């Protein structure tokens, strides 16, 4: 079964895409990247959905190839039961070693009941694995910056202490997005310098690059850069 899925993945290989994917994922062994485009992976997941082959596949960890992890997460995405989806996410997260893997994780069960995620997010934010922490921040960004927003959520993100580049980048991405959606509530994290300088400045950079931030806001944000 595993050999059959690997064969299908290699049949979908795009050499040009592989080269680009290797560059975008420097934390991943290049020899483990097959080079399969996301739409093709999602189509394969749809074809495997509900089959015994899929059920057996997601029981197997670790995987050999980068795209196997992507396929694994897409198959979890079809699980309707929240508790089962969470159990499978918890099994998968410790094996993920790239921002591209965590950032493509979106599960229908979580979309239906995001409030149940909050206690899990707290646990993920305290994890030793950087990509688990990144995923926790991503969940707060995806689910809790609009109608569900509370001041305590950016507080949680600001308290994350990490030297890991991809964690700090996720913090900056979170706050730049929060500025676009909750500007007045989030601005004090910059004016009061509640974050370490690198995250502070990267937040401003990403916010200035955003089309959702007004020209006036961008001009003010530039004055808040830390030297």
Taking only the tens of pLDDT, the chain with its 227 residues reads 568 999 999 999 999 999 999 999 999 999 999 999 999 999 999 999 999 999 999 999 999 999 999 999 999 999 999 999 999 999 999 999 999 999 999 999 999 999 999 999 999 999 999 999 999 999 999 999 999 999 999 999 999 999 999 999 999 999 999 999 999 999 999 999 999 999 999 999 999 999 999 999 999 999 999 98
Residues 135 and 36 in one domain: no
Show the domain range for 4.
Answer: 1-112
58 and 37 within one domain: yes
Query: Which residues have C-beta within 8 Å of that of residue 71, sequence separation ≥ 6?
Result: 5, 9, 41, 44, 45, 48, 57
Question: pLDDT value at position 204?
Answer: 98
pLDDT computed for residue 2 by the predictor: 65
Residues 97 and 136 in one domain: no
Q: Are both 125 and 107 inside the same structural domain? A: no
How many angstroms separate the CA atoms of 147 and 81, rounded? 24
Number of folded domains that form the chain: 2
Check: CB of residue 14 under 8 Å from CB of residue 36. yes
From 84, 112, 140, the end of a domain falls on 112
Does 95 share its domain with 152? Answer: no
Pair 73, 158 in one domain: no
Whether 7 and 107 share a structural domain = yes
Residue-wise pLDDT tens digits, 125-147: 999 999 999 999 999 999 999 99
One DSSP character per residue, 127-187 reads -SSHHHHHHHHHHHHHHSSSTT--THHHHHHHT-----HHHHHHHHHHHHHHHHHSHHHHT
Distances (CA, A) of 220 to 47, 175, 185, 204, 216: 50, 16, 16, 10, 6
Given 90, 112, 134, the domain boundary residue is 112
Q: Are residues 214 and 163 in the same domain?
A: yes
Last residue of a domain, one of 87, 112, 137: 112
Cα gap 77→106, rounded to integer Å: 6
Q: Enter the tokens of residue 104.
A: 């493509």
Separation between Cα atoms, residue 112 and residue 93, nearest integer Å: 21
Which of 215, 213, 216, 134 has its CA nearest to residue 181?
213
Q: What is the pLDDT of residue 3?
A: 84
CA-to-CA distance for 162 and 84, rounded, in angstroms?
30
* Cα angle, residue 122 at apex, residues 118 and 127 outer, rounded to 5°: 140
- pTM value? 0.94
């Amino acid at each position: 079964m595993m050999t059959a899925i690997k064969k299908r993945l290699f049949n979908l290989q795009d050499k040009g895409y592989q080269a680009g994917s290797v560059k975008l994922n420097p934390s991943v062994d290049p020899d483990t990247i097959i080079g399969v485009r996301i739409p093709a992976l999602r189509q394969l997941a749809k074809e495997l959905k509900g089959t015994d082959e899929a059920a057996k596949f997601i029981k197997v960890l670790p995987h050999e190839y980068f795209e196997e992890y992507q396929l694994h997460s897409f198959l979890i995405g079809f699980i309707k039961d929240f508790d089962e989806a969470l159990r499978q996410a918890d099994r998968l997260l410790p094996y993920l070693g790239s921002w591209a893997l965590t950032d493509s994780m979106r599960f229908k069960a979580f979309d239906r009941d995001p409030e149940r995620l909050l206690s899990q997010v707290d646990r993920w934010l305290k994890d030793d694995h950087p990509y688990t922490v990144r995923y926790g921040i991503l969940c707060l960004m995806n689910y809790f910056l609009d109608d569900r927003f509370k001041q305590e959520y950016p507080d949680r993100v600001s308290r994350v202490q990490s030297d890991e580049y991809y964690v700090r980048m996720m913090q900056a991405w979170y706050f730049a997005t929060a500025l676009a959606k909750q500007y007045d509530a989030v601005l004090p994290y910059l004016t009061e310098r509640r974050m370490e300088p690198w995250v502070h400045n990267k937040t401003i950079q990403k916010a200035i690059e955003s089309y959702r931030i007004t020209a006036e806001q961008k001009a003010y944000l530039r004055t808040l850069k830390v030297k």
